[in-house]
Amino acid sequence: MSENLNPFAIAQAQLDEAAAVLQLDPDMHAFLREPMREFHFTIPVKMDDGSTKTFQGFRVQYNDARGPAKGGIRFHPDETIDTVRALAAWMTWKTAVSDIPLGGGKGGIICNPRTMSPGELERLSRGYMRNIARYIGITQDVPAPDVNTHPQIMAWMLDEYEKLMGWHEPGVITGKPLPLGGSQGRTPATALGGLFTIREAAKARGLSLDGATCAIQGYGNVGSHAHQLAGQFGLNVVAVSDEFGAIYNPHGLDHKVVTDHLRRHGKVVDCPETEAINNAELLELNVDILIPAAIENQLTSQNAARIKAKIVAELANGPTTPEADNILNDKGVYIIPDFLCNAGGVIVSYFEMVQNGYQFYWDEAMVNERLDQKITTAFHAVHTMSQSKKVDTRVSAYLVAVDRVAEAVRLRGWV
């Protein structure tokens, strides 16, 4: 039977496995398998040529037992409600495993932002906010940037929200530009948090990172920053990729050279002093650390047996299918599960909300120090659970997170 690659079905299957280990009450399990609420809407946008195009948008508030829902907004031509549901579920577990007082949510619009002008993107962004404004806020749901969205889009959305409400509320959106209440350190936070977890995983496995080789799939904000910061942890990045292909140099890739080439040519392929390979070859390179930082379902039953990395650090959401998990765990690969590995972004988004709340802002060194403390504590909670329960790291991350969410649901008397 072929793998089920529906992301929400995968998220539910992962929860089911943890529920069995936790011996979760069946009523609680049933409640946690589904979003608490979701919104579907259409957004008419006046295009530059005078036509009006209608876009479909979503917002899912998966669970808010531990606090306001939190999660990004994605602009993607292949967006689906099941992807948004899955990501909202993973955000619920991500905030819980990080032990921050937030729930989980996610949003998206089916669109191709690369074909849209800045004016069209602004009108789309403001239209999205007009649809969700009554359902969000610092005590309800706090969106943020995600795939193909960025601080400028967050600025437009914040402005639209404040126009509708008639007051300033900078904490309603995170990932904002600094002049509008953004946080220092937010842009590289997801990558940096992932590297902190790689550091801790290497210690747990007795692996030195000094000169350890690393391949990064995906070269957007997260993958590029992971490359830029990797040297601080001793890692030698030998391969990176984007949607057009991958490049490899066994002696290492210089971040500045790659990003300069990407800026000039729009892709990493043909970067000087590199060999062109494809994404599949990158995943199967003989490296110490593999960082999937692109999209879901990249490590599957079809390629997992050929993965040679000692540590797989999931900076992407859902890059590994359950079947691949089993194969990699049997091979002794240490997987840092996505909602732990890439939690740095939401942790610093939480810091941004805190700073907005009392109108006092930290410098980047303090943000990074507090991120290190928070995500390192989360890593060790998961690792300790894995050792004590003798389960793999993904299941142990779910055990920590689901138990925390279930406790909040019970205390509220919902189930």
The two tokens of residue 159 are 């402005």
Which CATH superfamily hosts domain 189-341?
Answer: NAD(P)-binding Rossmann-like Domain (3.40.50.720)
Overall average pLDDT of the 105-126 stretch: 97
Taking residues 249-275, report their average pLDDT: 94
Pick from 301, 306, 278: nearest CA to 5: 301
Split at pLDDT 50, 70, 90, the class of 261 is very high
Catalytic residues: 106
Residue 375 has pLDDT above 60, yes or no: yes
pTM: 0.92
pLDDT at 322 exceeding the cut of 90: no
Show me where the domains of the chain are located. 35-173, 189-341
pLDDT tens for 296-319 read 888 999 999 999 999 999 999 889
- Alpha carbon distance 156, 126 (integer Å): 6
pLDDT score at 4: 64
HEC secondary structure over the chain: CCCCCCHHHHHHHHHHHHHHHHCCCHHHHHHHCCCCEEEEEEEEEECCCCCEEEEEEEEEEEECCCCCEEEEEEEECCCCHHHHHHHHHHHHHHHHHCCCCCCEEEEEEECCHHHCCHHHHHHHHHHHHHHHHHHCECCCEEEEECCCCCHHHHHHHHHHHHHHHCCCCHHHCCCCCHHHCCCCCCCCHHHHHHHHHHHHHHHHHCCCCCCCEEEEECCCHHHHHHHHHHHHHCCEEEEEEECCEEEECCCCCCHHHHHHHHHHHCCCCCCCCCEEECHHHHHCCCCCEEEECCCCCCECCCCHHHCCCCEEECCCCCCECHHHHHHHHHCCCEEECHHHHCCHHHHHHHHHHHHHHHCCCCCHHHHHHHHHHHHHHHHHHHHHHHHHHCCCHHHHHHHHHHHHHHHHHHHHCCC
Q: Judge contact between 186 and 349, C-beta under 8 A.
A: yes
Distance CA 347, CA 340 (A): 11
With a cut of 90, say whether residue 179 has pLDDT above it: yes
| Same CATH fold assignment for domains 35-173 and 189-341 | yes
* Average pLDDT over the chain, rounded to an integer: 95
Residue 105 phi, psi dihedral angles, 5° rounding: -150, 175
| Percent residues over pLDDT 90 in the chain | 93
Residue 213 predicted with pLDDT over 80: yes
Fold of the CATH domain 35-173: Rossmann fold (3.40.50)
CB contact set of 164 (below 8 Å; sequence gap of 6+): 129, 130, 133
* Contact criterion met (CB below 8 Å) for 176 and 152: no
Residue 2, pLDDT score: 57
Phi, psi (rounded to 5 degrees) for 275: -105, 135
Q: Check pLDDT > 70 for residue 3.
A: no
Q: Establish how many alpha carbons lie within 13 A of residue 255's alpha carbon, considering only the half-sphere containing its beta carbon.
A: 18
